[in-house]
Chain A
Amino acid sequence: MNCDFTRTVLHGYLDGELDATRAAEFERHLESCRECATSLGSEESLRSSLQRSGLYENAPVTLRKKIHAGLDAATASSVAIRIPVWRWLAVAATILVVASVSWFAWPPRAKDGATPFTVAEIIDAHVRSLQPGHLTDVASTDQHTVKPWFDGKLAFVPPVKDFADEGFPLVGGRLDVLGGQNVAALVYSRRKHIINVFVMPTKEPDTPIHPPGLRQGYQWRHWRRQGMEYCAVSDVSDSDLYELAQLIYQ
């Protein structure tokens, strides 16, 4: 009734932390020990309850903002100590010049190769989507449910594919607005993180996947392919984001 394996080794097995020999040994044991088999079943069910009940709590946007302010203070104030006054004047002059130049150069959207939306818009849309209840309009891991859902809601058909086997399960889709146009937002997850892929039509030629951008702790990747403009944004690492971008690009 009190199998020693139940108490400890079973947990290493459940967590995938046993080496191959011990795992095989435990599997052999499992065939003959009812107690372990039952316990394993109930541990698995406990695990799936824990993981499926939405217990993970993401950081609120207010916290993100406060941290950025704190980082600004910690960086700027330490710089201030070291920089003599004349350099501040030089900095101020530079800012004036840059400001007046950008006044004429603004908006940058018309520029060749530029995106029809700003980075701030993408990050805002991503952050907004993480608010409770905002992530998806259609929640489904099935691409055949998500794709038809966009029918009639947009003037184009976004390509929708699930990449669960590659580690990027589709979570659902949503309508969003970027740069004043309606766009499709495809939502993928990577471990506990959310990736938004914004899709809209374009007349511009294809591009490769552009190098990553980083702002406020979020990364994005942008590319154009077969008449569609894509922008993937998330707080996952860039290598993850690039992997998903490549999957979609293919």
Chain B
Amino acid sequence: MSGSDQGKGSDVLDAQDRARFEQLVLPHLDAAFNLARWLLKSRADSEDVAQEAMLRAYRFFRGFHGGDARAWLLQIVRNTCYTWLEKNRPVELMTEFDEELHPQPSASPEALAIAGANRERLTRALETLPPRFREVLVLRELEGCSYKEIASITAIPIGTVMSALARARQRLQRALTHASPQEASREL
């Protein structure tokens, strides 16, 4: 499944393909939409991009030779999202993928900030992360993907998924902690 996500797309699709696609791929529409929504941070844009990705998946469906249909679809969704971002919001992709891992203070303010985090604050904190951090978190925590699946969807080597998640979680904790003082007072 690594490398290109599509086989050849020139085949004519018939009713049998359609039925197979509906059975194998379409059930993962929620996963497709959810990933797009978190990568693009907008429901309206995600609807368009998820639709495009799903139809693209259909066109290339004969190139899918069994295996993990969700990972196969999400790989296409992710690629479609990045193409869209490059075209429409190139600045967002320019954020450096922070390779440095900062020492993690073990004190409890984080724990407190996190324990009290609600949907709105988590959403905002997640949305401040660069897309490459956000996607591994969404795939792991919301979609429940294994490291192997994350590696195949995001095209990062499986050996680095663990450290990518470690960095992403650290960034999220920081975003939550930094956002917390005034947020907390506003919530009161």
The total number of A-B Cβ pairs within 8 Å is: 154
Across the two chains, which residue of chain A brings its CB closest to B24?
A237
Q: In chain B, residues 103-119, which have Cβ atoms closer than 8 Å to a Cβ of chain A?
A: 103-104, 106, 108, 110-111, 114-115, 117-119
CB of A17 within 8 A of CB of B162, answer yes
Q: Which of B7-15, B79-87, B88-96 contacts A (4 or more CB under 8 A)?
A: B7-15
Given A50-B122, A63-B47, also A38-B30 (CB < 8 A): no
CB of B30 within 8 A of CB of A58, answer yes
Q: Does B27 contact A (CB under 8 A)?
A: yes
Question: For the complex, would chain A's binding face be called helix, strand, loop or mixed by DSSP majority?
Answer: helix
Distance of A71 Cα from B165 Cα, bound (Å): 36
Across the two chains, which residue of chain A brings its CB closest to B168?
A11
CB of B30 within 8 A of CB of A235, answer yes
Q: Chain A residues with Cβ under 8 A from B64's Cβ? A: none
Q: Chain A residues with Cβ under 8 A from B111's Cβ? A: 38, 41-42, 45
CB of A39 within 8 A of CB of B140, answer no
Instruction: Indicate the member of B23, B29, B106, B141 with the most A CB atoms within 10 Å.
Output: B106
CB of B162 within 8 A of CB of A46, answer no
Binary per-residue interface labels of chain A (200-233) against chain B in the complex, 1 for a CB within 8 Å, 0 otherwise: 0000000000000010110100000000000000
Q: How many residues of B contact A (CB 8 A)?
A: 59
Q: Does B37 contact A (CB under 8 A)?
A: yes
Q: Does B128 contact A (CB under 8 A)?
A: no
Given A45-B114, A57-B37, A70-B55, also A78-B13 (CB < 8 A): yes
Chain A interface size, as a band, is: 35 or more
Distance of A35 Cα from B103 Cα, bound (Å): 11
CB of B14 within 8 A of CB of A75, answer yes
Q: Does A28 contact B (CB under 8 A)?
A: no
Specify which of B34, B43, B163, B169 is in contact with A56 (CB 8 Å cutoff): B34
Question: For the complex, would chain B's binding face be called helix, strand, loop or mixed by DSSP majority?
Answer: helix
Q: Does B74 contact A (CB under 8 A)?
A: no
Given A2-B103, A15-B140, also A60-B47 (CB < 8 A): yes
7 A-B contacts, Cβ less than 8 Å apart?
A51-B142, A53-B118, A55-B123, A59-B34, A62-B47, A74-B55, A79-B15
A interface, CB within 8 angstroms of B: 1-2, 6-12, 15, 17, 34-35, 38-39, 41-43, 45-47, 49-51, 53-60, 62-64, 66-67, 70-71, 74-75, 78-79, 81-82, 191-193, 214, 216-217, 219, 235-238
B interface, CB within 8 angstroms of A: 12-15, 17-19, 21-23, 26-27, 29-34, 37-38, 43, 47, 50-51, 54-55, 58-59, 101, 103-104, 106, 108, 110-111, 114-115, 117-119, 122-123, 126, 137, 140-144, 146-147, 162-163, 165-166, 169, 172-173, 176
